[in-house]
Amino acid sequence: MPEKPSVPAGSFTSVLNEKRQFKPSAAFSKAAHLGSEAAYQKLYRESIKSPEKFWGRMAKQELIWQRPFKKVLQWKEPFAKWFVGGALNVSVNCLDRHLGTATANKAALIWEGEPAADGKPGEERTLTYQQLHREVCRFGNVLKQKGIQPGDRVIIYLPMVPEAAIAMLACTRIGAVHSVVFGGFSAQSVADRVQDCGAKMIITSDGGYRRGGVVPLKKNVDDALEIRTSEGIHLAASVSSVIVLRRTGHEISMRTGRDFWWHQEIEHAASECPPARMDSEAPLFILYTSGSTGKPKGILHSTGGYLLGAKLTTRYVFDLKESDVYWCTADVGWVTGHSYVVYGPLANGGTSLMYEGAPNFPEPDRFWRIVDKYRVTILYTAPTAIRAFMKWGDQWPNKHDLSSLRLLGSVGEPINPEAWMWYFTVIGKKRCPIVDTWWQTETGSILITPLPGVTPTKPGSATRAFFGIFPEVVDEQGKGVPRNTGGKLVIRKPWPSMLRGLWGDNERYKQVYWSEVKGSYFTGDGCRQDKDGYFWIVGRIDDVLNVAGHRIGTAEVESALVSHPSVAESAVVGRPDELKGQALVAFVTLKTGVTPSSQLREQLRQHVGKEIGPVAKPDDIRFADLLPKTRSGKIMRRFLKQVASGAEIKGDTTTLEDLSVLSKLSSQDD
Ligand code: WTA
């Protein structure tokens, strides 16, 4: 059992920073979609006072409905139905609506492939709305031809290539539910997800490029399809076909009757594919994310509400305009890639840039070279990347012309004020507003954020709530705390793009999100509001870590470790890390007769990589004779966190089973 989340002190930034404010420039405000505090206040007030009126109007105004909705919200806590009775199709809202307009021949996606190790430039591809529409329809027909029907689940396990977006949109075209699995996850993770959602198909590629190497995606799929549990359960038994994109040209094995090449299937596919009429509440996608217990949870999003959230936030938070070249650097395997590479920008008729590779390959100026080359105007990336750029030095961005940039965004973890200032000064040349956007896989779209042109920003604060969002910082009893006091961040009212549940597990949905604080959605984050009402997110207060912007559940890594034959018990905690925000530290006790060694340590890291994926490999493994436990047998994570970060042991140790354990843990240095 995880320990109960404790309320953080909430004082990670000094008051000094709070005083430092950056007001939007008059020129920016004048040209922005929303350019005044009064306009924000008016809309915000309406959205909270009369949410149904506000959201109803937005849904009518922003989305194309095949059948109008009858009721804006049906709320039976914790289950929400938005735009009840309405029908729409996401691909129509992202693509068809732009055909026959001036946007039809505009770039919808600009893609840049990873360059070769010798510096040879990567491939480039541009798909206009018209072309993207055609590809989506053709691939939609391939899915149908392979027997995929509305409601069926399809796993997408692809690198950052345009086909990832095409596959997602093709699913929405025919009403299939996609579940994108990040290419950095292992065969085991693919198999677990297939089993959980009962996927019929996997879409993958012969490989993906990453820092000059090739990620063997198809090989992982082959392995995933064979995995059987110790009880003999065939995890991926539901999969009847695999579509394989040719990306690297590396040799792979293809099984007749099960595996099909994308390019061959699409060759004869018609470019007309009537859009499925989907109920507003029909499942749109499932995205797995880590929680504080057990296996990753299948976060379920539905059609109408999700699309409205993604569209509206993209327009207002990024001030997205006709002429922008917008670049969100997230992989489509994460929610940021869903909402802000694919659905949000396309629903707005924007130009979305996709990049396949890493920020420092072949050199640490990759991002700045791309900004320069494509004249990127809006850049949205993660603090972990910003901190890495800071470390690599100003010479890399300074080599390039970044004058096209007009807005910068940050997401995924709290941004430390130093990184904020560097981003603002070195990248934005003090001209570009920064939007520090707080949200989660579960929230579907950005909930707390500055609006550029409106909100004065403070480095390190995500500032204020977006329209229709009612966040509050509360204490253990669920009561609002006074300003400048730390507490738990909750959302008091339902919003359209909120998760609809966990795939196949309503009980867990209720328990994880709606039982911690009565009547409110519990975010799992600690937070504080300053005297101006600005939100300062402290980070997770449950047993979820944020490593380089990736959510990793400690329970998942622990169970991967104990599945190794040498391991008796393990406890995983985070320690602060300059670049990654948090690093993973695993305390491991070994089975009798097994001796600790550096080889074993490396074996265990590899084992976690195989069980979950390289992103979850512990940064540090410490062998221990015993783990510190309370008399009732609970592992005392609080102490382990202190040991991991090298801090002096503080707090009540009276319930410790064996005090000598602590001194042994902290004195280990090999
Ligand atoms: C953290 C990513 C501080 C937070 C969109 C949240 C942030 C978790 C911010 C969700 C931010 C995200 N400031 N913390 N601007 N954005 N977080 O589901 O702890 O991968 O709960 O969604 O990231 O991570 P997820």
Q: Bridge partners of 453?
A: none
**Of 190-199, 206-215, 646-655, where does the model show the most confidence?**
190-199
User: What are the boundaries of each domain within the chain?
Assistant: 20-116+125-294+301-470, 490-540, 544-666
Q: Are 284 and 301 in contact (CB under 8 A)?
A: yes
Residue 7 pLDDT more than 70? no
- Topology annotation, domain 20-116+125-294+301-470: Rossmann fold (3.40.50)
Residues 203, 668: Cα–Cα separation, whole Å? 46
DSSP 455: P
Residues 72, 171: Cα–Cα separation, whole Å? 26
Residue 187 pLDDT more than 80? yes
For β-strands 407-411 and 581-590, DSSP reports them as unpaired
Q: Which amino acid is at 64?
A: I
Q: Which two tokens stand for residue 567?
A: 């391991």
Q: Bridge partners of 210?
A: 213
Q: Which residue has the tokens 């309406």?
A: 46
Ligand 1 close to Cβ of residue 420 (< 6 A)? no
pLDDT in tens, 493-519: 999 999 999 999 999 999 999 999 999
Residue 6 pLDDT more than 60? no
Q: Which two tokens stand for residue 188?
A: 């085991």
**Distance between Cα 451 and ligand 1 center (Å):** 18
- Tell me whether the CATH fold assigned to 20-116+125-294+301-470 matches the one assigned to 544-666: no
Residues 85, 305: Cα–Cα separation, whole Å? 13
Ligand 1 close to Cβ of residue 436 (< 6 A)? yes
Confidence of residue 666 (pLDDT cuts 50, 70, 90): low
Residue 543 pLDDT more than 90? no
Closest to 668 (Cα-Cα) out of 606, 602, 607, 598: 598
Mean pLDDT rounded to a whole number for the chain: 93
**Distance between Cα 439 and ligand 1 center (Å):** 5
Query: Which residues, 6 or more positions from 441, have their beta carbon under 8 angstroms from its beta carbon?
Result: 287, 289, 299, 334, 335, 499, 551
Residues 474, 525: Cα–Cα separation, whole Å? 11
Query: To test the ligand 1 pocket, which listed residue (438, 446, 523) has its Cβ within 8 A of the most ligand atoms?
Result: 438
Q: Are 307 and 343 in contact (CB under 8 A)?
A: yes
Query: To test the ligand 1 pocket, which listed residue (12, 182, 413, 550) has its Cβ within 8 A of the most ligand atoms?
Result: 413
Task: Report helix angle 598-611 to 554-562, nearest 10.
Answer: 120
Residue 98 pLDDT more than 60? yes
* Distances in whole angstroms, Cα of residue 522 to Cα of each of 80, 493, 511: 15, 11, 10
* CATH H-level, domain 544-666: superfamily: ANL, C-terminal domain (3.30.300.30)
What pLDDT shows up at residue 646? Answer: 81
Other CB atoms within a 10 A radius of the CB of residue 169 amount to 24
Interior/surface letters 483-510, b for 16+ CB within 10 angstroms, e for the rest: eeebbbbbbebbbbbbbbbbbeeeebbe
What pLDDT shows up at residue 395? Answer: 98
Nearest-CA residue for ligand 1 atom 15 is: 438
Outline where DSSP puts E strands in 137-253: 153-157, 177-180, 201-205, 208-210, 213-215, 241-245
What pLDDT shows up at residue 183? Answer: 95
**Distance between Cα 150 and ligand 1 center (Å):** 31
Q: Distance between alpha carbon 541 and the CA centroid of its chain, in Å?
A: 18
Nearest-CA residue for ligand 1 atom 7 is: 413
Residue 365 pLDDT more than 60? yes
pLDDT in tens, 632-658: 778 888 889 888 888 766 666 555 556
Residues 260, 249: Cα–Cα separation, whole Å? 15
267 SS3 class: helix
Q: Are 90 and 284 in contact (CB under 8 A)?
A: yes
Query: To test the ligand 1 pocket, which listed residue (180, 289, 423, 440) has its Cβ within 8 A of the most ligand atoms?
Result: 440
Ligand 1 close to Cβ of residue 386 (< 6 A)? no
What would you report as the CA-atom Rg of the chain, rounded to the nearest whole angstrom? 24
Query: Which residues, 6 or more positions from 46, have their beta carbon under 8 angstroms from its beta carbon?
Result: 53, 54
Confidence of residue 204 (pLDDT cuts 50, 70, 90): very high
E strand or H helix at 472:
strand 471-474
pLDDT in tens, 566-607: 999 999 999 999 999 999 999 999 999 999 999 999 999 999
Q: Are 386 and 143 in contact (CB under 8 A)?
A: no
* Distances in whole angstroms, Cα of residue 567 to Cα of each of 499, 557, 592, 621, 632: 36, 13, 9, 12, 22
Residue 12 pLDDT more than 60? no
Q: Which two tokens stand for residue 27?
A: 């020129």
pLDDT in tens, 32-84: 999 999 999 999 999 999 999 999 999 999 999 999 999 999 999 999 999 99
Residues 504, 328: Cα–Cα separation, whole Å? 31
What pLDDT shows up at residue 122? Answer: 85
What pLDDT shows up at residue 8? Answer: 43
Residues 583, 605: Cα–Cα separation, whole Å? 13
Residues 324, 141: Cα–Cα separation, whole Å? 32
**Nearest atom of ligand 1 to the alpha carbon of 537:** 3
Ligand 1 close to Cβ of residue 144 (< 6 A)? no
DSSP 115: P
Q: Which two tokens stand for residue 32?
A: 């922005």
Residues 80, 91: Cα–Cα separation, whole Å? 23
Residues 258, 296: Cα–Cα separation, whole Å? 27
Mean pLDDT, residues 331-336 taken together = 97
Ligand 1 close to Cβ of residue 356 (< 6 A)? no
Whole-number percent of the chain with pLDDT over 90:
85
pLDDT in tens, 105-152: 999 999 999 987 777 778 999 999 999 999 999 999 999 999 999 999
Residue 444 pLDDT more than 50? yes
**Distance between Cα 549 and ligand 1 center (Å):** 7
Mean pLDDT, residues 550-564 taken together = 92
321 SS3 class: coil
Ligand 1 close to Cβ of residue 553 (< 6 A)? no
Mean pLDDT, residues 225-246 taken together = 97
Q: Bridge partners of 528?
A: 536
End-to-end CA distance of the chain: 30
The dihedral formed by the CA atoms of 10, 11, 15 and 18, expressed in degrees to the nearest 10:
-40
* Distances in whole angstroms, Cα of residue 299 to Cα of each of 38, 334, 356: 36, 12, 25
